[in-house]
Structures are given as structure tokens and as C-alpha cells.
Structure 1
């Protein structure tokens, strides 16, 4: 659920280390000391959102007087978490103030778009930069600097909010630097992952596509470990998930809601819309595993589950389910979610009217940050590659579950952490039925 930044990256940011210079990083005209006046851009809404993400996930706070070295350090903190990414280096004095055009070039390189710039002819470059109203001489559009800016505009790294900074050959503003870092996050797959917003006109179509193309997760090596935990009654059930679908949302604004029936998901989105809630939505495929007792009868065959008979005659059932991750526009909206679910999506009696389809006695939704009326429990998580299995438990049971996983496979990566779950599900963990 959470993405941990390496200790090395944290130390790099904490000490604000500056990387060694590389003579090939910039053309000489770009590496001279910045002496021109800064063209200050107001912090855009998008830059603010990127800024919150950078601070929470990477410990990066962008200064309003950013140096070249600090910007490179921030870029490399992002790249350190991106598989196969190479660090960016810079020429010249790392203590010099960062120029706007220079920031764009560094971001383009970090986003793996450097070679794209080389494909631009002078005419294509001039056309791409027309909206910037640069008033350059014709031969300037054949330069590496011009091609870099043109590629950044077409690729969406450099947006119209910051054209004035380029036009005035100014210093990079806090807003521009933050926006560029955010664009690099997106290009490297290190930013938030979501289908769209609950308010989008096509959100139902996107959810349908996501559900239709999801399958029961196999992960045989991982299942072998946690299935044995089921057989030994170490856990009563577990979820299998794929980290490549994790939303990577801001913890303070997000929560995760789990269910098995897709019709319920559609109605839940409709419910949020009807209550004026606009939230980012990510569909996270999930497989739930539990013991199916032999006395319950023939489990049958379905596209929604698989069963495997075990030594004592019972079965392990693997059911196709899902999590919906939401990131809300405000903490107030996040706080409202509990009241909405308890009123319209929590079953309190048989044949209860006024609920959305498939409402459970004990719905499951949880937050990585503390919320009123939520209860603290533990997640016991074991990973293998990009797959992970997790089993929720009361805090007092967590150490035993974690130790049991480690005993079953001493080489496995096992982590344990606390989070906050809705009251009805907490009651379920305590053995209550409603």
C-alpha cells in the first residue's frame, strides 16, 4: 500500500548534497551564472498538488530560490525510485540559481525525452514555440536550447503558465520547478495512478473496462506461503494484490474501499456523485482467499472464483474482488465518506430499503491516517516481486501473524504496520456478525 523511499534517497535530500558536475550536461550558453531578473509565476493549482505529493512521498520541498544543484537532487530522488532510471548530472556551479530554460532541459532529460528534441527541424521548432512569442531571430530556432523547449511544449512538460519565464530568460520560479518535477513523476510512472474522477462523464465505462480485464491473481509462489498459513489457521483469509495497480495517493486525502460485486462499485460512484463528492478513483484488482468448508456443498464453477481442494477435504476459494482507492478534494470530503456509507451502503437488517445494491453488514474501507470513529488495526503483508498478500488483524494478533509468515518462509519480505478501518469491519475482526 505504501511506497517506501530508500534510506539513501532520504539522506540525500536531508543533507541537500549536490551532485558532481558533468561537462556534457549543458551547452555553454546555458551554464553561465543567472543574473537576469526572475519572472515570478503564481503557484498553480497543479503545482500545489505536485508539491504536496513531493513532500509526502519524497520529502522534497521546493525553495523559492532554487539552485541548480537542489533541482538536480530533487530530480534524482524521483529517479532513484524508478526502475532502470539513470541519475541526472549538471555542469557549472551547482550553487548558481536555476534558470527557467535550464530547468526545462533537466526535466526533459529526466523524463527520458531528450532524444525527442533532436528530431525537431528549425521550422518545426519555430512552430511549436510560436505561442511563447519569443521574438527570436530565425537562426535561434536551430539551437539545442530551442529544440529542447519545443519538445517540452509538445510533450506537455512546459505549459502556458510558464511561457513568460522562458520569454524573459528568467530564473525558474518555485511554481515552474515544482510543475516540472511533477511532470517527471508522471513520465516515470512515479505519480498517482487513477482512472479518472468520480464526476467524469466516462467513469462508468472506465470502471467497466478495468473490471472486465481483471483476472484472479495467481502468484503461485506467494500463494503457496499464504495458503499454508490458511491451512494452519494462522489467518482466516487474505487478499492478493498487484502493486502495479496501487493508486499511490496522498495518505491524508485518501482511503480504500473493498468489495466483491461490481454492480455495487457503480452504485457507490453514483452515490458519491449524488452527495457532491468529487474524488480521484483507481480500480485495484484483488483476489480474496479463504477456507470453503466441505459441508457447504459442491462449490461449483464460476468466472468469479476458483477452488482448490486441500488435504482435509475442505477447499481454498480464490474470489475475484476489487478495491476502489479514492483521493478526495479535501479532508472534509474524506471525513464525510464514513457517514455516507453508514447511511446508504451498510446493511443493518434483512431486506433493508434505501441502500445501494450489494450493501454488506460489515463494509470494508480504511485509511492510512487517523479518522474519527475509525479503529486502529494492523496489516500483515508479505511480498514477492510486484505481488503482495495481506491479512488484516487486530493489533494484539499482528505479531503472531507476522512471525508465522516468517516461519513459513524466512526469505520472504514481511512487513507490519497499523492503519484505521471503519467500525463495522473492526467488529467483524472481533468476531461479531453485524
Structure 2
């Protein structure tokens, strides 16, 4: 995964976070000052702190951010990775001292911006919280560190299933480090975001609620640029999204499925349940923009459908749609999705039976990493604040589109990258009808 490609998956909220948490906890020598015992005395043979998310978070950090942690991280390893996740270059990143479990928690508390919360703990409240959670071995810790540890336990920053094996002065393994780093991302709104899972009993209610509270995504600054692209024939359509709804899923396990009819995705989720496929689900709002020809008649507007007439008498239409982001439990389930859609959710004839409602001739779903039976295409995207507009194209058209957008808006940065789309949509881009 290229650096450009990866940049599209990282929340800009995280990229603005300060490294004050590092500066405030490290002495000028680079040695942590907050542990009761010198960090070099850490016991490296500590039991592994396995959590239910253990290997999941190790893989997640590697697949989404291209970062890895050794089995027994040093302070420098941990701070380097933390700095990369937060878009910063922290000091003392080469510190080779072993990372104790309590040091890992303390740094995570500060990075998660929970320090003020920790400071509200009285000694009695902190001791009570840790005692109820079953945390032991805190007798030699400073009052400040006990406060931070209690806050980490109460907020779940320290995973509940890691508490029982927590040993403050023992070496932190990469499982604990990855879980804490994932927790830091979560507190900044940049970890996985989803409304539920396929097998949840209330997933259909949540889908309805999410869709009903979403409105047309409008971004005038971006629309001005891409509408001009439509007028010039650079592309036949584009969409606008708000990245505050991004799922932030593991790219190796996830797909994005686009549609306009909510009933279709409700039945699609039911279809996945019937096939025994489990996945996390996020509904990302999207506006689809395209040229509405004058000869089609006068368009009817609604809250979910707006039009603007252009110079030649045609209209540019803005229609409410959505992307269904799915993170599967396994790569095998992700592979299976293509066959399920082609069998039950892709229209091949006008009166075809046995399909879920509102199935399209050319369904649209795509993966960031390559997939068997998928085709490589390109995206041209421009960001403005929390919003972005993008237009998918064949690879051979990408350069022309990017150059055209740059001429329309020389000050804008056009980001171009490849991804893999289902074969029917690829045929659609080639002008085929099914």
C-alpha cells in the first residue's frame, strides 16, 4: 500500500493531535520519569496479555497504518508508532529501554487526552477502582500513575480482559501495546466506527435509524469544481462524502458497497445472515451527482433529491445515496461476498426472479487491496475540510480527468489512486450494459 493510498484511510482529526503527551512524560535523557522503579529493570518474561482483540489490533495497525511492533517493544518502538498514528514525530523515539506495562498505559492515557480525568481521582477512589477490577502490584507506584491506571481501567482504555494479567513493572508485549494504541485512536474518533454487526438482532433498526438521520451531503466548494467537470464531460458522475462517517475498517477485511435504496441493503444484510457471513456494518452517507437531461422532463425535487439547471438547459442532479461499509471476520468471507452478490443481487434480465429487491444491473462494490475476480480502476479525489468529492474512472482516463480538474481548480490537490472494483461495474465503466 503506497503512502498516498494509505493517506485516504487516516482520519484528519488524528493528524492534528499534539505530542505534548510525550514531552510531558519524558525527561531530557529520554528515560521515562513516571515509573516507581527504573524501566530498565522490567521483567521481560511477563505472561502475554491476550485480549479478545489481540491479533486483530496488531493486524489492524499494520494493514491500515503500515506500522508494526516487535514482540517486546521498547519505549522508543512504542512512542515511534504512537507518533506515526498521531501524525507527529515525537522526541526520544530511539529510546531502547524496555517498555513496562504501566509505562505503556500511562503514555496511552496522555495520548488519549484523559489526563485531566485521571487527575480527578482521589487516592481512595483510584484504589477502589483498581481493587474492584482486580489490578494488583500497585504498591510501589506513584499516586499520579495510580490515578492514570484507574482512569485507563474505568474508561476501558486498558482492555478488561487484560486486567487480570496486568503486572505494572513487567515487559509490555505487542498485544497490550496494540490494544492501547487502538484505544487511543478510539478516543480520538479514528478507530473502527460502525452501527453494528450483521448478526445483531437490532441491526435492521440501526440501519433504518442511520439512514433516516442522514441528509444530502453537500459541499459547495467541491461541487463547484466537479460540476464544471460534468459540464466539460470529464466524467459522467461523481459523489460527495463526509469522512466523519468513515468506518476506518481494516482494508484487508473490508469492502464498500454502494446503493440508493435502503431496502436493498436491509435484504442484503439478511442475505449475508442466511449465508452465515458475519461482518461489521457502517452506513456512510453519500450524495451522487450526475447530469439530468432536459428531454427527460422537469425533475421533481425533494429533501433527498435536488437539481440545478445549467447553461445548456440540462440539470445537475444531487441524489441521496449511501455506502455500506463491511468488515468481514475473515478473508474467506470477504472473497465469498462477490459470489453471493452475483447470485442473488445482480440483475441479468428484466424479469429475473430470485433476486433481492432493487438489484442493479451493475452493482458497485470495491476493495482497496487487490481481490480475485475484481478489476483495477482509479479514483480522482479532492478534499475540503471534512468533505471530499470523487469520481471513479478507468485507469486510462485517470490522467485526463486529473489534468482537467487541475485546470478547473489549480489550487486544489487532486489525489489519484487505484483500487479494485467488481467486474459488472468495471464493464459499466467500459460502456457495457450488464
Fold-level similarity (TM above 0.5): yes
Task: Call closer, same or farther: CA 1:299–1:419 in 2, change over 3 Å.
Answer: same
Looking at structure 2, the residues matched to 331 and 353 of structure 1 have their Cα atoms a distance apart, in angstroms, of 30
Equivalent pairs, count: 415
Contact 1:88/1:109, CA 8 A, preserved across alignment:
no
- Which residue of structure 2 aligns with residue 287 of structure 1? 287
Deviation at 1:154, TM superposition (A): 0.2
Which position in structure 2 is the counterpart of 1:306? 306
Match of 2:230 in 1: 230
Is the Cα–Cα contact under 8 Å of residues 66 and 172 in structure 1 kept in the other structure?
A: yes
Q: Offset of 1:94 from its aligned partner?
A: 2.5
In structure 1, the partner of 2:58 is 51
1:388 maps to 388
Q: Does residue 1:102 correspond to 2:103, yes or no? A: yes
The equivalent of 1:114 in structure 2 is 115
Contact persistence 1:165–1:171 (CA under 8 A):
no
Structure 1 residues 406-417: aligned runs within 5 Å: 406-417=406-417
Alignment-derived partner of residue 317 in structure 2: 317
**Contact between 1:30 and 1:102, CA under 8 Å: does it hold in 2?**
no
Cα distance in 1 between the residues matched to 2:386 and 2:240? 11
Tell me if 1:186 matches 2:193: no
Contact 2:26–2:33 (8 Å) recurs in 1: no
Which deviations, in whole Å up to 9, do the C-alpha atoms of 1:2-37 show, x marking residues without a partner? 53599xxxxxxxxxxx99943696336254422445
Query: Do structure 1's residue 79 and structure 2's residue 86 form an aligned pair?
Result: yes
Deviations 1:41-79 (A, max 9, x none): 154340211111211233321112211122111211122
TM superposition shift of 1:174: 2.3
Please, which of 8, 14, 22 is the counterpart of residue 27 of structure 2?
22
* C-alpha distance in 1 between matches for 2:286 and 2:280: 19
- Cα distance, 1:88 vs structure 2: 6.2
Q: Which moved more, 1:69-78 or 1:165-174?
A: 165-174
Corresponding residue SS for 1:29: coil
| Cα distance in 2 between the residues matched to 1:386 and 1:260 | 22
Contact 1:384 1:413 in 2 (8 A): no
Distance in 2, Cα, partners of 1:253 & 1:51: 14
Change (3 A) 1:134 1:342: same
Partner of residue 46 from structure 2, selected from 39, 44, 47: 39
Equivalent pair of 1:38/1:172 in contact (CA under 8 Å): no
Q: Which moved more, 1:299-308 or 1:312-321?
A: 299-308
Counterpart CA distance in 2 for 1:225 and 1:35 is 57
Change (3 A) 1:5 1:361: closer
Q: Does the aligned pair in 1 maintain the 2:159–2:179 contact within 8 Å?
A: no
Greater displacement, 21-30 / 281-290: 21-30
Q: Cα distance, 1:141 vs. partner?
A: 8.5
SS at match of 1:252: coil
- Equivalent residues of 2:138, 2:168 under 8 A apart: no
Instruction: Please say if residues 241 and 387 of structure 1, whose CA atoms lie closer than 8 Å, have aligned partners that are also in contact.
Output: yes
Q: For the residues of structure 2 that align with 1:382 and 1:168, how far apart are their CA atoms?
A: 46
Residue 413 to residue 56, structure 1, CA distance change in 2 (3 Å): same
Cα deviation for residue 166 of structure 1 reads 3.6
Separation in structure 1 between the aligned mates of residue 346 and residue 9 of structure 2, nearest angstrom: 37
* CA RMSD after TM alignment: 2.5
* 8 A contact 1:88–1:110 mirrored in 2: no
Question: Structure 2: how far apart are the matches of 1:30 and 1:225?
Answer: 59
Which of 3, 7, 24 pairs up with 1:3? 7
The 3 A distance-change label for structure 1 pair 36 and 428 is closer
Aligned to 2:376: 376
The equivalent of 1:13 in structure 2 is none
Distance 1:133 1:251 in 2: 35
Per the alignment, in what secondary structure is the counterpart of residue 397 of structure 2?
A: helix
CA contact (8 A) 1:191 1:248 kept: yes
Unpaired runs of 5+ in structure 2? 11-21
1:136 & 1:409 partners in 2: Cα distance?
59
SS in 2 for 1:375: strand
Change (3 A) 1:90 1:322: same
CA displacement at 1:164 relative to structure 2:
4.8
Match of 1:134 among 109, 133, 136: 136
Equivalent positions of 1:268-279 (< 5 A) are: 268-279=268-279
Match of 2:40, SS state, is: coil
Q: Is the 8 A contact 2:35 2:102 kept in 1?
A: no
